[in-house]
Amino acid sequence: MAILVGIDEAGYGPHLGPLVVAAAAGKFPGDAAGDPNLWGALRGHVRKRPSGTSSRVVICDSKVAYGGGDIATLERAVLGFLAAMDTRPSSLAEFLAVTAVSSGADEAGRAAPRPWDSPKRLALPAATQTEEIRTAAEHLAGGLARLGAAAAGLWVNVAAPARFNRLVQTTRNKASALFALTADILTDLRTRWPHQPIHVTMDRHGGRRYYAGLLTAAFPMTRVETLEEARAVSRYRLHGGGSAAPVHLTVRTRCETWSLFTALASMAAKYVRELHMRQLNGYFQSLVPGLAPTAGYGRDAWRFLDDVAAARKAAGVPDAAILRCR
C-alpha cells in the first residue's frame, strides 16, 4: 500500500486571522506513487470548476472554489471527504478534534482562549445540507474504490495570531514558521504509516526552491536526500532507517492544479480559516453596530482594527490576540 498526500496552506498573507496548513491523504494499492493528477481518473465523480449543477464534487484551488465568498463549495468537498471515512463532525470543535495534528498539539494548546472562539457552538455543516455531504462522500468513496484506493486522512494545523507570532519569533521569519507547521504534519504522517511509502506533493512556499536544510533541521535523525531542485519543482527523499519506509516529497509551483489531494488540502485550509474569520467578525459585529466584516488582508485589516479599537479596549483584547507580527 502507498500513501498519496497533498499539503497546502491558507492565510499566509493577511494581518488578521489564523495561518492554516492542511493535508489530505489517500491510500492506493502497490508501493509506487500514483499520478497525483487524479481529475481524469475520477472524472465521473469530481470536477475542477465550481460552475454548473452537476453533483460531482468540486476539487480545485481554494481561491477558485471560494471565488464568490461562499464556503458551500469548500464544505461539500471537505466534509464529504471526511464522511467518505465515516467521520461526520457536527460542530467546528468536533472537526478540529478529528483533524488535529498531534505533533503540534502542545504548542497550539498554549494559546489563551479568545472571546470569539466558540467552535462548539458553530454547527456543521454551516452552508450546505446533510444530503449534499452524503452525495459528495458517495462520489469520493466510490470513485476512489474504482481505483482500488480509499480516503485515508485529513489533518489541519491552525496557528492563530498568538501561536503564529511565537512561531515567527522562534524561527525568525514567516516562511520558516509556515514550514514548521508543515513539518508537524509530516511528522504525523511518518508516525501513522511508518512502513508504507508516503508520497507527498506540496505547493511551493512563496518563492522558496531549496528545502533540504529545513527538512534536515526538522528531522535531524533522518537522512534527507536531494533528488532535484529546479525552477518549477524540487524533490526529496526522507529515508526512514531500519524497516521504516521512505517519504518522497515533491514541491511544485501551482501544485493545486497538478495534485488533486493538494487542491483538497487547499480547500480544507481555506474552509477552516474562513470559519475562524466568521467567528471573529461575528463577535465584533455584536459589539459594534454596523461593522463591516473583514477578510483580514491589506488596508481593510487596518480599517477593521480602527473600527473595533474601542470595543477591543473595553473587552480587554490585546493586540497580540488578533494581530499578526508579519
Per-residue pLDDT of the chain (326 residues; tens, 9 = 90+): 899 999 999 999 999 999 999 999 999 998 766 789 999 999 999 999 988 788 999 999 999 999 888 899 999 999 999 999 999 999 999 999 999 998 766 555 556 678 999 999 999 999 999 999 999 999 999 999 999 999 999 999 999 999 999 999 998 889 999 999 999 999 999 999 999 999 999 999 888 899 999 999 999 989 999 999 998 999 999 998 777 899 999 999 999 999 999 999 999 999 999 999 999 999 999 999 999 999 999 999 999 999 999 999 999 999 889 999 98
Q: Residue with C-alpha cell 498573507?
A: 13
The pLDDT value recorded for residue 107 is 58
Q: What type of residue sits at position 200? A: V
* Eight-class DSSP state of 280: H
Q: From the CB of residue 87, how many other CB atoms can be counted at a distance below 10 Å?
A: 17
Q: Residue with C-alpha cell 485529513?
A: 154
The pLDDT value recorded for residue 112 is 67
The pLDDT value recorded for residue 105 is 60
The pLDDT value recorded for residue 128 is 96
Contact 269, 10 (CB under 8 A): yes
Closest CA to 3 of 36, 37, 30, 28: 28
How far apart (Å, rounded) are the C-alpha atoms in residues 68 and 75? 14
Mode of pairing for the β-strands spanning 150-159 and 46-47? unpaired
Residue 229 C-alpha cell reads as 531542485
Mode of pairing for the β-strands spanning 19-28 and 150-159? antiparallel
Give CATH superfamily name and number for 2-279. Answer: Ribonuclease H-like superfamily/Ribonuclease H (3.30.420.10)
Mode of pairing for the β-strands spanning 247-252 and 198-203? parallel
The pLDDT value recorded for residue 207 is 81
Q: From the CB of residue 99, how many other CB atoms can be counted at a distance below 10 Å?
A: 22
Q: From the CB of residue 302, how many other CB atoms can be counted at a distance below 10 Å?
A: 13
The pLDDT value recorded for residue 52 is 79
Q: How far is CA 190 from CA 102, 225, 238, in A?
A: 12, 16, 10
